[in-house]
Structure formats: structure tokens, C-alpha cells
Amino acid sequence: MIPGSEVTLQDVGLNSTRTGLLEVLRRMGAEIETEMTQTIPEPMGTIRVRGAKLVGTGITHEEIPSLIDELPVLMVAMALAEGESLISGAAELRVKETDRIRSMVQNLKALGASIEELPDGSLIRGVEGFHGATVESFGDHRTAMSMAVASLATKGTITVNDTACIATSYPAFSEHFSGLLKS
């Protein structure tokens, strides 16, 4: 979502049932290369991503199982994409650690995004960038990490309240994210 940026991730799970995020980002115009480094016991590999101006897209209920956990961070990218993005068939997001549709809509609006909450998803109209704000994690690790990612495209500072929840799924997130910012 940041044109001109580049990141390489090693030892990433590439099980085809969990790579829906990569397919949607490619459809949006992201330059993503994957290299399989092992197949047993699970497919693993390296992902190289080059930042690009993204374009909006739609996500339907058929795609949801392969990217349900990544929808919050994908909503961040969609909020910065040119045009409209529509997520539908994702009512399951309402019964996670928090109502992730509501938490992401509220937080993204606080950053200046153009986003509407729908019963089973959201309608997002891309903006040029975000402005600083204080947002809430709602005790949800994915919401908190998604807001950290949003800070990459923010003029100003994003403060995320209650980030201890991130340890639920990614205890080293802060260290790795800080390392990303330094490179």
C-alpha cells in the first residue's frame, strides 16, 4: 500500500487454504512474488512484496474462508486503494474477539477513511492517506496490529490503546514491526 516500498518475509506459511490475502492483494495491483522453500510438513516459503498504488476490489463469501483472519489488515489496504472495495459475506467477523467489522470501521473512520459498515462486511472508498488519531484495539489482536500497519500511511501519529492483546497471536510483533520501520 506504500508505493516504492519493498519487504521480504521468510518462513511464511503458504498453505493454499490460507493465502487468500495474497490473491486479493495481487488483484488490487500489488507486486507479490512467492517462492516455496518446503512442502512437508506444511508449505512454507518466502514472500517478496513491492509497494504499489492499489485499486479497489470486491470480496465475496466464497473467498472469506481463505482470508477471514486477514480481513482487518486488508481493510486498511482497501481504505488506501483507488476506487471502491466491497467486502460481503463476512458476518463471521462479528463474532471474533470483538466485532471486527465494527471495530475496523470505527478506527478507520477516526483516521479519515471513507468506510460504511454493512451487516456482513463494509463498503470502502479509497482515500489518499490517513491522519493521526487515537484508536482502540477493542481487546482484539488483529484490530491492534492492523492499526499499527495503518500508521505506515499516516500523516501524524496513531496511538492504539490496549495493545497487550497482540501477544495472543504474535508476541514478537512490536519487535518485528519496529525492525521493518528501520529498514
101-123 pLDDT per residue, tens: 999 999 999 999 999 999 999 99
Instruction: Give yes or no for a contact between 155 and 127, defined as CB atoms under 8 angstroms apart.
Output: no
Tell me whether residue 72 is in a domain.
yes
Coil/strand/helix, residue 138: coil
Query: How far is residue 182's CA from residue 18's CA, in Å, rounded to a whole number?
Result: 28
Tell me whether residue 106 is in a domain.
yes
Q: What is the reported pLDDT for 179?
A: 83
pLDDT above 70: residue 26: yes
Based on the structure, what is the number of domains in the chain? 1
Tell me whether residue 74 is in a domain.
yes
Residues 6+ apart with CB under 8 A from 83: 55, 56, 125, 126
Q: Which three cell numbers, joined as nine digits, stand for 81?
A: 486503494
Active site residues: 69
Domain that holds residue 147: 53-182
pTM here? 0.94
pLDDT above 90: residue 2: no
Query: How far is residue 63's CA from residue 53's CA, in Å, rounded to a whole number?
Result: 23
**Model confidence pLDDT, tens digit, residues 60-89:** 999 999 999 999 999 999 999 999 999 999
CATH number at residue 141: 3.65.10.10
Tell me whether residue 76 is in a domain.
yes
Instruction: Give yes or no for a contact between 140 and 100, defined as CB atoms under 8 angstroms apart.
Output: yes
Instruction: Indicate the pairing of strand 130-136 with strand 154-161.
Output: parallel
Tell me whether residue 37 is in a domain.
no
Mean of the per-residue pLDDT values for the chain? 93
Tell me whether residue 107 is in a domain.
yes
